[in-house]
Amino acid sequence: MELSLRAIGMPSSPIRKLVPFADEAKRRGIHVYHLNIGQPDIKTPECALDALRKIDRSILEYSPSDGCLSLRTRLAGYYAGFGINLGPDEIIITTGGSEAVLIAFMTCLNPGDEIIVTDPFYANYKSFAIFAGAVIKSVRTSIEEGFRLPSVEAFEEQITPRTKAILICNPNNPTGYLYTREEMERLRDIVVKHNLFLFSDEVYREFTYSGEPYVSAMHMQGIENNVILIDSMSKRYSECGIRVGCLCTRNKKVRDAAMKFCQARLSPPLLGQIVAEASLDVQESYLRDVYEEYIERRNFLIDGLNKIPGVYSPLPMGAFYTIAKLPVDDAEEFCKWCLSDFNYNGATVMMAPAAGFYTVPSDGRQQVRIAYVLNKEDLGKALECLAKALEAYPGRISN
């Protein structure tokens, strides 16, 4: 018996593929500093935890397929605070932001249709495209230019009769890049000219460090029916495990079609929605403290990385990730080696090889994605491990 071509073609996650190496290191008593995955060590808000503790139901029933109305109503109010005007009926609750991406693809794309992304991109987008039978095409950004948005011409070189959508992540995972208003307007003009969908993953909206007002795809005029917003509660409230996200669109035709997929999977998580709704009561001080903590972590990490000989990382202006270039021949082999053959004072570091975030893996061969989701003390120890590992690594290359 043979597996499906879809299964064979499905890539392993660059974020999780080295987990067996990390598990084996831990079995040997090595402490592993996890910089590979966007799992914050920030405490979940107490109002969310209280809601979880106080759930008092005799039946844990299905929720509506589009999610609980009370949560959707509260989310409409949340978005209004960012100048994004949506009604509860324009918000569909999903099982995390991941399901929102998948449902958006399944709703809007036929097998063989093409989605344009900026390279590097969140690796699971490719997996979701395989689910939908769609094709990822990329326009390349470069670490030397801070991963800024490519030109209109670069996008249009990739557009064919099969092109159906552009997909962005803003602020960006994995690079931490934050699109400017001018760049968002540039994307709007491409979308209008070529009549494309614009999938906009805005999970990291709270974490923008430029000092300028946040610019959402939903703010762009003239593409109201083209935009599908992807969001999640996971990162802003440090509650990745509740698996609650949403798909938002003003396009009724898209919403009606998406609901068929939502009905097929029955409903999003009831308990997660209860916690998510309670999270919207969080004190402003919580969000402010978390924001300031991430700025401190970012500055500490980037400063530390760029002090290591041969390492370079641009300053990310959003989210809590950065792409760093290392003086090694193959970053994936280096990341494996750090877990299997190296430790410094009984500890090592785990990072995500960046090759898996590129359409052409060799473009990221010397790069890693680092998530600054650990406190500064642990970040400092992780940086020390990284510096010592680079000194000892047999595959180190000179600049």
Measured distance CA(312)–CA(368) in Å, rounded: 11
> How far is residue 59 from each of residues 55, 144, 254, 275, measured CA to CA in Å?
11, 56, 33, 17
Helix (H/G/I), strand (E/B), else coil: 317: coil
Show which of 279, 296, 320 is a domain's final residue: 279
- pLDDT-derived band at 390 (thresholds 50, 70, 90) equals very high
**What angle do helix axes 331-340 and 376-392 make, rounded to 10 degrees?**
100
12 with 108, same domain: the answer is no
Q: Which residues pair with 32 in a beta bridge?
A: 348
Show which of 249, 279, 309 is a domain's final residue: 279
CATH number of the domain that residue 64 is part of: 3.40.640.10
pLDDT value at position 281? 97
**Type of residue at 158:** Q
Q: Are 139 and 160 in contact (CB under 8 A)?
A: no
Residues with Cβ within 8 Å of 129's Cβ and at least 6 positions away in sequence, in order, are 105, 115, 135, 136
108 with 179, same domain: the answer is yes
Per-residue pLDDT of 220-266, as tens digits, reads 999 999 999 999 999 999 999 999 999 999 999 999 999 999 999 99
Q: In the structure, how many helices (H) and strands (E) does the chain have? A: 13, 12
Q: Is the pLDDT of residue 396 over 90?
A: no
38 with 52, same domain: the answer is no
Reported as type and span, the H/E element at residue 383 is helix 376-392
Range of the domain at 183: 46-279
Q: Are 94 and 259 in contact (CB under 8 A)?
A: no
Show which of 279, 307, 339 is a domain's final residue: 279
Q: Is the pLDDT of residue 398 over 80?
A: no
> How far is residue 136 from each of residues 113, 128, 131, 166, 357, measured CA to CA in Å?
9, 10, 12, 10, 12
Q: What percent of the chain has pLDDT over 70?
A: 100
Q: What total number of domains does the chain contain?
A: 2
345 with 363, same domain: the answer is yes
Q: Is the pLDDT of residue 15 over 80?
A: no
Q: Are 178 and 141 in contact (CB under 8 A)?
A: no
Q: Is the pLDDT of residue 35 over 80?
A: yes
**What pTM value is reported for the model?**
0.95
* For residues 45-52, average pLDDT: 97
Positive or negative: CA dihedral 41, 42, 43, 48: negative
Asked if residue 398 belongs to a domain, the reply is no
Q: Give, as one character, the DSSP assignment of residue 214.
A: P
35 with 147, same domain: the answer is no
CATH number of the domain that residue 356 is part of: 3.90.1150.10
**Mean pLDDT (the chain, rounded):** 96
243 with 227, same domain: the answer is yes
Measured distance CA(231)–CA(368) in Å, rounded: 25
110 with 210, same domain: the answer is yes
Asked if residue 168 belongs to a domain, the reply is yes
Q: Are 127 and 10 in contact (CB under 8 A)?
A: yes
Asked if residue 376 belongs to a domain, the reply is yes
Bridging pattern class, strands 163-169 and 245-248: unpaired
Backbone angles phi, psi at 280, to 5 degrees: -70, -10
178 with 80, same domain: the answer is yes
Asked if residue 74 belongs to a domain, the reply is yes
User: What tokens appear for 274 in the block?
Assistant: 């209860």
Per-residue pLDDT of 79-120, as tens digits, reads 999 999 999 999 999 999 999 999 999 999 999 999 999 999
74 with 88, same domain: the answer is yes
Q: Is the pLDDT of residue 343 over 90?
A: yes
Reported as type and span, the H/E element at residue 263 is helix 252-264
pLDDT value at position 399? 61
19 with 52, same domain: the answer is no
Per-residue pLDDT of 151-209, as tens digits, reads 999 999 999 999 999 999 999 999 999 999 999 999 999 999 999 999 999 999 999 99
- pLDDT-derived band at 7 (thresholds 50, 70, 90) equals confident
216 with 321, same domain: the answer is no
Asked if residue 399 belongs to a domain, the reply is no
266 with 313, same domain: the answer is no
